Structure 1
């Protein structure tokens, strides 16, 4: 999200003037309607304080905004192929849906070619787009508060039930067990994307980039295991986390001391504790960690433990690379991994 007041004013002026030269440069999220638009959109223009500005469509989607039906911001700069139009329309009809190959067949679309076109046009995969819509809806619900759910406010859906489904499928309702834990969800802006934190007054349970693959599953497992309901709000732990993350990106932090809730097997915790003892600038291989743990043949198990980490950056799984020196995978994306390693090596 654009934070500079000067830049926001420039973008707002372009929005008011319907300046086509800014189409594709930024997207405007309109708080009062919940949609995001091209600068050249012909719809009625909002007040400055009701606008948020984003550099990508994915970021606007993750914030819970849906594409404007007047200017079709997802079609810039070219007319969309028919298959892609059908997919976008299908998602907007049922944003909370998780797509499978069978669903493409029902639309009469060849899934592989449609996915290739989607990636080429939007710079993100179809799965990323659909997931961004689902997560954006759920997070927006959290920000608006549980009363919004209770009152069945539709937030632009054809029905209130669609909105509720999108929320509960990701964030859930408490079970009928006696003890229900309340966990607080908050957001942290970083130079490489917004992060979501889940905390209570004692621990940090989850810290992930909001468009990380598998985030919905992570949240669902955490919620079920803790029998928790997620609400939006700050805790002393979320504030400490945000403070230290900001220091980290400013190269002013040597070691995190946020209290962590480590939810994993004994082996996973051993791997994570090795990572916690590493220092900025270190690079570890899966085999090295396995050797430290007493069995150099457990590289794959170390990789699985690394992938199961729910607390990005603080438990620095980005420091684990392949034995051949290549970066390997990263839940938040390889470009972020590269950024973090470069950031730490320059401290």
Structure 2
């Protein structure tokens, strides 16, 4: 779910008051820390602009947030569950460990029973939860200035070569290939639709993409070529700005993105992307309508290709382009995401 009820203000008031009536019914994700908490967490209250709220632990983890170590939100109310309780405790003690089914068996658990129990409580399996934790732990170490060996250990890889291979599969290159004195900075960005990677310099956003999109490694390599290999880990004011704007967007507070963009592509591709930027939130266009708008009515297929080559998802709203018959088509980030975004943006219709 992208938006939940009660509304944001009610949930934020409950967070400030540490209202126990919301415990287990809602969780707060804090973009400034990358942590998610119960609303009763004793930690210092975050600023409202850094908060988004979700109904389930699975949504928080899938959005790229780590569980708070103080309020332990991954411990469900059904913590007495003989399967869930011990495994959550084990995961919190070893977030970087490479968990597998043999580990579950050694602990005396049946993997199929564990799978069903975690699906019931969290909407994801224990192994999926563990993999997500490992990925973010390793990336966060690198983005925070840590060494590759530290990230490897944090992510639970005993072999440097295995860590390099796994990392390269995601980003298209090994962590050691990233620049120590970068021109562009890559960092993890959380969203309710899944973790994203943002690449920015000091003034503009160059790439924003979902981590699980198949085209992402190729997009990253193109940007690496543009930057002549000078992409490193880190976060700039531009990254902070786009994170805040995404939080606002998903909280239903505004669809305007003011982050300055760097558009990479041919003149035709950039023309298509600029036209996409004119489509108001809550509205859609067909590929043929976009082709007409840029003065190339015969270039419908080329428009579709340019739409699919978008490297700034959500910001350049390629999800607002649909088939002429109204069907959802061609979204490399997943049609389910396209559907969710269109549904969310209905609340912005007519608001500018």
* Residue aligned with 1:338, SS: helix
Q: TM-score when scaled to structure 1?
A: 0.64
Q: 1:327 Cα shift?
A: 1.2
What is the aligned partner in structure 2 of residue 268 from structure 1?
269
- State the structure with bigger RCO (CA 8 A, min sep 6), 1 or 2: 2
Give the corresponding residue for 1:247.
Answer: 248
Q: Hey, what does 1:160 align to over in structure 2?
A: 160
Matched ranges for 1:114-193 at <5 A = 139=139, 142-143=142-143, 145=145, 147-149=147-149, 155-167=155-167, 170-172=172-174, 173=176, 181-193=182-194
CA 1:33/1:254 → structure 2, altered by over 3 Å: closer, same or farther? Answer: closer
In 2, Cα distance between equivalents of 1:211 and 1:67:
21
Select 1:76's aligned residue among 112, 117, 122.
Answer: 112
SS for the counterpart of 2:36 is: coil
**SS of alignment partner, residue 216 of structure 1:** helix
Q: Contact between 1:185 and 1:199, CA under 8 Å: does it hold in 2?
A: yes
Q: Structure 1 residue 257 and structure 2 residue 258: aligned? A: yes
Query: Counterpart in 1 of 2:82?
Result: 19
Deviations 1:206-261 (A, max 9, x none): 11122222222222221233123444332100011011111111222242111111
Deviation at 1:313, TM superposition (A): 0.6
Q: 1:13 to 1:322 in 2, by over 3 A?
A: closer
Aligned match of 1:83: none
User: How far did 1:69 drift?
Assistant: 3.9
- The correspondence of residues 1-347 of structure 1 with structure 2, limited to 5 A, is 3-5=36-38, 9=72, 11-12=74-75, 19-20=82-83, 29-30=91-92, 32=94, 34-35=96-97, 66-67=99-100, 69-71=102-104, 75-77=111-113, 139=139, 142-143=142-143, 145=145, 147-149=147-149, 155-167=155-167, 170-172=172-174, 173=176, 181-347=182-348
**Deviations 1:133-162, CA, capped at 9 Å, x for gaps:** 997697356346452349975854342233
**Matches of 2:152 and 2:319, distance apart in 1:** 41
The alpha-carbon distance between structure 1 residues 78 and 135, as it changes in their structure 2 partners (threshold 3 A), is: closer
Contact 2:96 2:153 in 1 (8 A): no
Distance across 2 between alignment mates of 1:194 and 1:28: 24
Distance 1:297 1:132 in 2: 44
Residue pair 2:277, 2:317 contacting (<8 A) in 1 also: yes
- SS of 1:289's partner is helix
After superposing the two structures, state which structure 1 stretch, 234-243 or 181-190, moved more. Answer: 181-190
Residue 12 (structure 2) aligns with: none
- CA deviations on 1:161-219 (whole Å, 9 max, x unpaired) are 3323444563445599xx97442222232222222211121111111122222222222
Contact in 2 for aligned 1:287/1:299 (Cα 8 Å): yes
Stretches of structure 1 lacking an aligned partner (at least 5 in a row): 36-64, 80-121
Tell me how far apart the structure 2 counterparts of residues 141 and 11 of structure 1 sit (CA, whole Å).
22
Secondary structure at 1:224 match in 2: helix
- 1:3 CA displacement: 2.1
Q: Report the TM-score when normalising by structure 2.
A: 0.63
Deviations 1:95-153 (A, max 9, x none): xxxxxxxxxxxxxxxxxxxxxxxxxxx999xxx9xx98997697356346452349975
Contact 1:181 1:227 in 2 (8 A): no
Query: 1:76 is paired with a residue of what secondary structure?
Result: helix
> Secondary structure at 1:277's aligned position in 2?
coil
RMSD: 4.1
Q: Is the 8 A contact 2:283 2:320 kept in 1?
A: yes
Q: Is the 8 A contact 1:138 1:167 kept in 2?
A: no
Cα distance in structure 2, aligned partners of 1:133 and 1:152? 13
Structure 1 residues 230 and 168: CA distance shift in structure 2, 3 A: farther
